[in-house]
Amino acid sequence: MRKIVLVYSGGLDTSVCIPLMREEYGFDHIITVTVDVGQPREDIQQATERANQLGTEHYTLDVRAEFIEQYCWPAVKNNGDYQGYPISTSIARPLIALKAAEKAIELGVTSFGHGCTGKGNDQFRIEYIIRTLLPDAEIIAPMREGRLLPNGSREPWTRTEELEYASAHGLTIPQNKDKIWSIDENLWGRSIEGGHLEEPNYAPPEEIFVWTRSLENCPNTPRLITLGFENGLPVSIDGVNLSPLDLVTQLHAIAGEHGVGRVDIMEDRMLGLKVRENYECPAAVVLLQAHKALEALVCTQGELKFKASVDREWGELAYKGLWYDPLKEDLEAFTDKIQDRVTGTVTLRLAKGSSVVVGRASKYALYNEDLASFDSKTFDQSDSEGMVKIHGLQSRMYWKLRQGK
């Protein structure tokens, strides 16, 4: 009997994979694994029901706490961002693949399937983990490999063809040809793409947003919120200590109520394709903003300059799903050392889609009011005269040579 483990979301692509694997790839026994990283409860239930309907051996693995503590929190420490949005889908994929691989190892299965297309990033992220943990695994990707034609060749699937195939096999899919949004949601963010949203000049309809209010529906009164950090990690909201899961959940609600967290960008995928992406990530936007503000208070100028490059490199690695790359470990060693001092509070004003830092405090602050204040005489300003005289000395010498003097 041929067995295969399929990473299963319950959505269109992975649901179509199940009959395809039986009809075109000859698998007799399909094991579906849904990894819960914070999807809507109805999506988890739907995946279970659809897997049962399709006759698979199904498992649901709840890793929400692990996702926040082992994936989202490192993203906070490293100010995890890619081209203007807090990375969310990309950091969930390695954990999803890891848990599915562990289940395959437990069940002694050496064939592995996923529903990624050949245009996206997820094929890289998932297969990297599988090839790391199961180097000899057979990997099947029906959506990437294409639909089988009568002459034995294959051609790429279109989303419309997938919907037609699903309908022919009795699958009820909520998407349709007019509202064909592809939505991926976890505890850290929502990504919405597909259909007209792919067009750079198409205004996203309000219906695609769930976590954030429109500007018209935001409260007229701004909300002040104070976030507490210890060693670089968020621990409290307005002085109340919370578990990581509760903190993220509550912050989504607070920031989203004020319309904070919508991101609309042109994104460069790993294959070099430039695509339009919409995201909702209220908690992540606010937490990264606050974390950067606290780092700016406690870190030296040199540390901040170097960490900006570290954050950028870490974000690139995380976006690519290279969770086990040694460079990632090296970068985190530097970041973790700095986080020892990233302890304190940051106050932000949330209003009509904006989040603004209005205050920060830390016992490790590299700030001295007596030295910085213009009203203080502690700092002898005449000491600056010599430094000012030699400021830019070499560039001034170059300018003189350029003028032929």
Query: For 348-381, what is each residue's pLDDT tens digit?
Result: 999 999 999 999 999 999 987 666 555 666 667 7
- pLDDT the model gives residue 101: 96
Picking from 131, 163, 193, 142, the residue whose alpha carbon sits closest to that of residue 11 is 163
* CATH code of the domain containing 20: 3.40.50.620
241, 300: one domain: yes
* CATH code of the domain containing 302: 3.90.1260.10
Taking the C-alpha atoms of residue 113 and residue 100, their distance in angstroms, rounded to an integer, is 10
Taking the C-alpha atoms of residue 293 and residue 362, their distance in angstroms, rounded to an integer, is 11
Taking the C-alpha atoms of residue 343 and residue 214, their distance in angstroms, rounded to an integer, is 33
Q: How many CB atoms lie within 10 A of CB 118?
A: 13
- Structural tokens at position 69: 């503590």
Taking the C-alpha atoms of residue 296 and residue 281, their distance in angstroms, rounded to an integer, is 23
354, 396: one domain: no
Taking the C-alpha atoms of residue 179 and residue 315, their distance in angstroms, rounded to an integer, is 32
Place of tokens 């995380």: 318
- pLDDT the model gives residue 374: 57
Looking at 153, 181, 209, the residue that finishes a domain is 181
Query: For 303-324, what is each residue's pLDDT tens digit?
Result: 999 999 999 999 999 999 999 9
**C-alpha to C-alpha distances, 139 to 85, 134, 153, 282, nearest whole angstrom:** 31, 10, 19, 36
Question: If you average pLDDT over residues 184-191, what whole number do you get?
Answer: 96
Percent of the chain with pLDDT over 90: 79
272, 207: one domain: yes
Top mean pLDDT of 117-121, 147-151, 185-189 is at 185-189
Q: Which of 9, 13, 191, 360 is catalytic?
A: 13
Q: With bands split at pLDDT 50, 70 and 90, how would you rate the model's confidence at 333?
A: very high
150, 57: one domain: yes
Q: For this structure, is 325 an active site residue? A: no
197, 174: one domain: no
217, 354: one domain: yes
Q: For this structure, is 190 an active site residue? A: no
Sheet holding 240-241: strands in order across? Answer: 240-241, 233-237, 223-230, 344-351, 354-361
Question: If you average pLDDT over residues 269-284, what whole number do you get?
Answer: 95
Q: With bands split at pLDDT 50, 70 and 90, how would you rate the model's confidence at 277?
A: very high
Taking the C-alpha atoms of residue 82 and residue 320, their distance in angstroms, rounded to an integer, is 10
The count of domains in the chain is 3
Could you list the residue range(s) of the whole structural domain that residue 334 is in? 184-361
Q: For this structure, is 182 an active site residue? A: yes
Contact 85, 265 (CB under 8 A): yes
55, 137: one domain: yes
Query: For 40-95, what is each residue's pLDDT tens digit?
Result: 999 999 999 999 999 999 999 999 999 999 999 999 999 999 999 999 999 999 99
Looking at per-residue pLDDT, the higher value among 112 and 370 belongs to 112
- Structural tokens at position 324: 């086990």
Query: For 237-262, what is each residue's pLDDT tens digit?
Result: 999 999 999 999 999 999 999 999 99
- pLDDT the model gives residue 375: 62
Contact 296, 38 (CB under 8 A): no
Q: Which of 50, 64, 93, 213 is catalytic?
A: 93
Q: Which of 9, 15, 90, 182 is catalytic?
A: 182
233, 85: one domain: no
Contact 218, 276 (CB under 8 A): no
Contact 128, 322 (CB under 8 A): yes
317, 248: one domain: yes
Q: What is the pTM of this model?
A: 0.91
Looking at 148, 181, 214, the residue that finishes a domain is 181
Q: With bands split at pLDDT 50, 70 and 90, how would you rate the model's confidence at 338?
A: very high
Classified as helix, coil or strand, 183 is: strand
142, 18: one domain: yes
- Structural tokens at position 21: 């694997």
Looking at 181, 205, 227, the residue that finishes a domain is 181
Picking from 278, 280, 279, 265, the residue whose alpha carbon sits closest to that of residue 211 is 280
- pLDDT the model gives residue 22: 94
- pLDDT the model gives residue 376: 61
The full DSSP string for 314-334 is HHHHHHTT-TT-HHHHHHHHH
- Whether the per-residue pLDDT at 215 is higher than 90: the answer is yes
Percent of the chain with pLDDT over 70: 95
Q: Which residues pair with 264 in a beta bridge?
A: 278
Taking the C-alpha atoms of residue 157 and residue 145, their distance in angstroms, rounded to an integer, is 9
- pLDDT the model gives residue 378: 67
- Structural tokens at position 36: 């819960």
126, 17: one domain: yes
70, 131: one domain: yes
Q: Quick one: DSSP state of residue 221? A: S
Weakest mean pLDDT among 32-36, 57-61, 140-144: 140-144
Q: For this structure, is 13 an active site residue? A: yes
Q: Which of 81, 122, 184, 311 is catalytic?
A: 122
